[in-house]
């Protein structure tokens, strides 16, 4: 069972990751309104983060031979897949609907833990997921402008599945035969190579050579104030990507994929509040109430210790062994 200090640290890191991820949209929206294509913003985000993490990739280069499948999977699902599917989805269905479907991921994580890894999950974790999903529906006001688009919903569900991959790959020390757990790779190395792989994949989709690079040298508008485009891009790269992935991945190690996944729902609350403060997008009564419900669900889920199975615990509690969550390209 997880030590109280480890759980508190994991909760703090999960909250930090939700805040960091939640701020990406607020910083990216002015860049898009200034003339950049959404996919180009995503590419700049991931490629910039990969550049920042390149020294770490060199330091952990042995991972290329030790865990190539894990690195490729993290780049494909946790980095490129979430971003590409989400932005493709919002081109066809309302943002609120896409965000709600994407954050079905915590429920899907519970299903993966229960039916794929055959580990018990607590009733509190299930209740926390249900409350967080209900609150999230209010935060994003899913009833506003809802229209049915099968492909759009499928793309949003694809983003949710890729986010499941993010949480699952953040806890790669799965038990071997007989219940022995593999030593998990260092999180910094996994994130670094995941970002590099994601950059390669997104380059094929975004085609950055057609980008209007002059936008980055100008100013953008944020709630009536001028903000340099390069400053917003720096925030997106360093805080909303590098810091968000690092804190998110470690939080999964200290908590569990299912608990960290529910806490990650707070990203939507953070994004909505920041949009209110920085972009002047006001919150409605149902959104405020929904935010409180999300908080309640996340608290219930994280406060319940995972049940132990006969063959061993669901997750490892090693604070000194860390790799890839969470963690919403958004």
- Tell me the DSSP string of 283-313: PPHHHHHHHHHHHHHHHHHHTSPPPPBTTB-
Q: Is residue 214 part of a domain?
A: no
Does pLDDT of 134 surpass 90? no
- On whether the CB atoms of residues 237 and 45 are closer than 8 A, the answer is yes
Residue 137 lies in a domain: yes
Domain extent at residue 130: 4-174+186-209+222-302
Read off the pLDDT of residues 255-269 as tens digits, 9 standing for 90 and up.
Answer: 777 677 777 777 777
What is the total count of domains within the chain? 1
With beta carbons less than 8 A apart as the criterion, state whether 189 and 246 touch: no
Backbone CA torsion sign across 264, 266, 268, 273? negative
Average pLDDT over residues 109-121: 77
Tell me, yes or no, whether 165 lies in a domain: yes
Are 93 and 153 in contact, with CB atoms under 8 Å apart? yes
CB atoms within 10 A of CB 87: 21
Give the C-alpha separation, 83 to 95, whole Å: 13
Which residues contact residue 223 at a Cβ distance below 8 angstroms, ignoring those fewer than 6 apart? 278, 279, 280
Collapsing DSSP to helix, strand or coil, 175 comes out as: strand
The strand ranges marked E within 116-228 are 219-222, 225-228
pLDDT of residue 256: 73
Q: Is the dihedral of CA 147, 270, 330, 110 positive or negative?
A: negative
| pTM for the whole structure | 0.74
| Residue 317 covered by a domain | no
Say what angle helices 123-139 and 266-279 make with each other, to 10 degrees. 30
Q: What is the largest CA-CA distance in the chain?
A: 61
DSSP 182: P
Structural domain includes residue 215: no
**Cα(170)–Cα(165) distance, rounded to whole angstroms?**
8
Per-residue pLDDT, 272: 75
Better-scored residue on pLDDT, 177 or 219: 219
Other C-beta atoms lying within 10 Å of the C-beta of residue 147: 9
pLDDT per residue as tens digits for the range 146-183: 556 788 888 888 988 998 887 777 665 544 444 455 56
CA distance 258 to 120: 11
More confident position, 120 or 85: 85
Mean pLDDT lowest among 55-59, 119-123, 211-215: 119-123
Report the alpha-carbon distance of residue 140 to residue 162 in Å, rounded.
20
Is position 107 within any domain? yes
Among the ranges given (37-51, 283-297, 316-330), the one the predictor scored with the smallest mean pLDDT: 316-330
C-beta neighbour count of 142 within 10 angstroms = 18
Cross-strand bridge partners of residue 309: 312
Structure tokens at 220: 């953008």
Is 150 contained in some domain? yes
Residue 74 lies in a domain: yes
Burial of 179 (0-12, 13-18, 19+ CB in 10 A): exposed
Burial of 278 by CB count in 10 Å (0-12 exposed, 13-18 middle, 19+ buried)? middle
How many CB atoms lie under 10 A from the CB of residue 226? Answer: 10
- Indicate the pLDDT class of residue 307, thresholds 50, 70 and 90: very low
Q: Say which residue the tokens 């944020």 belong to.
A: 222
């Amino acid at each position: 069972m997880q030590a109280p200090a480890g759980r508190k640290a994991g909760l703090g890191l999960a909250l930090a990751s939700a805040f960091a991820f939640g701020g990406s949209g607020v910083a990216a929206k002015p860049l898009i309104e200034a003339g950049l294509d959404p996919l180009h913003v995503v590419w700049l985000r991931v490629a910039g983060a990969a550049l920042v993490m390149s020294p770490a990739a060199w330091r952990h280069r042995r991972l290329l031979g030790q865990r190539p499948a894990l690195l490729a999977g993290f780049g494909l699902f946790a980095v490129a897949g979430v971003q590409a599917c989400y932005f493709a989805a919002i081109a066809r269905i309302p943002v609120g609907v896409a965000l709600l479907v994407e954050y079905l991921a915590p429920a899907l994580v519970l299903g993966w833990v229960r039916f794929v890894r055959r580990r018990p999950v607590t009733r509190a974790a299930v209740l926390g997921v249900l409350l967080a999903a209900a609150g999230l529906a209010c935060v994003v006001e899913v009833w506003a402008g809802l229209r049915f688009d099968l492909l759009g919903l499928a793309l949003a569900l694809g983003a949710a599945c890729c986010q499941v991959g993010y949480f699952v790959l953040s806890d790669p020390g799965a038990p071997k035969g007989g219940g022995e757990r593999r030593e998990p790779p260092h999180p910094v190395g996994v994130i670094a190579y995941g970002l590099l792989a994601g950059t390669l994949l997104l380059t094929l989709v975004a085609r950055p050579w057609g980008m209007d690079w002059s936008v980055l040298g100008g100013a953008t508008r944020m709630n009536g104030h001028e903000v340099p485009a390069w400053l917003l891009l720096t925030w997106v790269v360093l805080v909303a990507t590098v810091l968000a992935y690092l804190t998110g991945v470690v939080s999964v190690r200290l908590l569990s994929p299912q608990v960290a996944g529910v806490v990650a729902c707070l990203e939507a609350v953070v994004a909505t509040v920041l949009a209110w403060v920085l972009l002047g997008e006001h919150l409605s009564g149902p959104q405020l109430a929904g935010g409180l419900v999300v908080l309640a669900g996340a608290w219930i889920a994280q406060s319940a210790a995972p049940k132990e199975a006969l063959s061993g615990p669901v997750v490892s509690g090693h604070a000194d062994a860390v790799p890839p969550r969470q963690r919403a390209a958004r």
